[in-house]
Each structure stands twice: as C-alpha cells, then as structure tokens.
Amino acid sequence: MGITQLPPPAAQRSAGHAQAFISGGAYALLFLAGLAEGVLGSFQYSRAVIGHVPLAALGFVVAIFASCGLGGRAMRGLPGALFPALGWFLASFGLAMPVSGGSVIIANSGAGQWYLYGGATAALLGLGTAFIGSVRLPPRSAARGRNGSRA
C-alpha cells in the first residue's frame, strides 16, 4: 500500500481561486446576457405585431424566462437565474424612464406593456423555477461517488 501525497497548501489555494474566477466569469456573462436581452428587447419589442398580438414582445418574454430558468439550472442555484434577471431589469426599466426632453424608448402601447410587464413576470417565474430546481437538485459533491464517478 503506497502513501498518497497531498498537494501543497499553495496549490490548494490556487485551485480555489481559479474556481472562483471561473464562477465569477460565468455570473458576469449571465448578467451581460440579460443586459443584452433588455437592450435589444427595448428597441425591437414592437417589430412584429400581427393584428393586436405583439409577437416580438412575446418572444422577448419567452427569452428572458428561458435565460433565467436555464441560467439557474446551469449554475445549480438561484444566483444563476438572478443575474440575467438583474441585467434585464436594469436595461429594460432604465430605458423605459423618460428623459428630460420627454421622449421614451418603450412606449405605453400594448406591445410595450406586454414587453415590460410580461418580461418582469417571466423573469420572476424564471427565478421561481430556478429556486424549485435548486431545492430538488443535490449538490455536485454529493452527486459523485468516492472515486469521482457518478453515484
């Protein structure tokens, strides 16, 4: 039976720092994805309106729901869903505020209301699905056996 050698403490610390850097970068990308969805949606929400149905606004609502839900599932927790929602809220509601000249980016129309209120509801529902999924999913360390293989 051989003696296993533990890595030096400095190597353990650098591995922890690398993991934190990767996680932080993933959260930053999720935030930027939500911000991009908010900016694009704020300018394009009224593109495709057939009759009284704002298809583009509904598409952006589905996109923010998917971003929040899938971000939470990918990061295995609520913060993964929270970061795209925060980016979307900052961009969309920031661009919905009137400027000193009186103009607004998102008009008070049916499509604008579907985009803002539907998107806010979809982001909250995405947070809810991530919360429910994080309660049911085991942590990554518990999902692996002793030898590193899936249990």
Give pLDDT tens digits for 107-134: 888 899 999 999 999 999 999 988 887 7
In a domain, 74, yes or no: yes
In a domain, 124, yes or no: yes
Range of the domain at 72: 35-136
In a domain, 53, yes or no: yes
In a domain, 97, yes or no: yes
Cα torsion 56, 60, 66, 71: sign: positive
In a domain, 20, yes or no: no
In a domain, 86, yes or no: yes
pTM of the predicted protein model: 0.76
Predicted confidence at residue 149, as pLDDT, reads: 56
Provide the number of structural domains found in the chain.
1
The token pair at 93 is 């509601």
Contact (CB, 8 A) for 41 and 49: no
**Per-residue pLDDT band at 50 (split at 50, 70, 90):** confident
CA distance 6 to 108: 63
In a domain, 1, yes or no: no
- Please state, rounded to an integer, the average pLDDT across all residues of the chain: 84
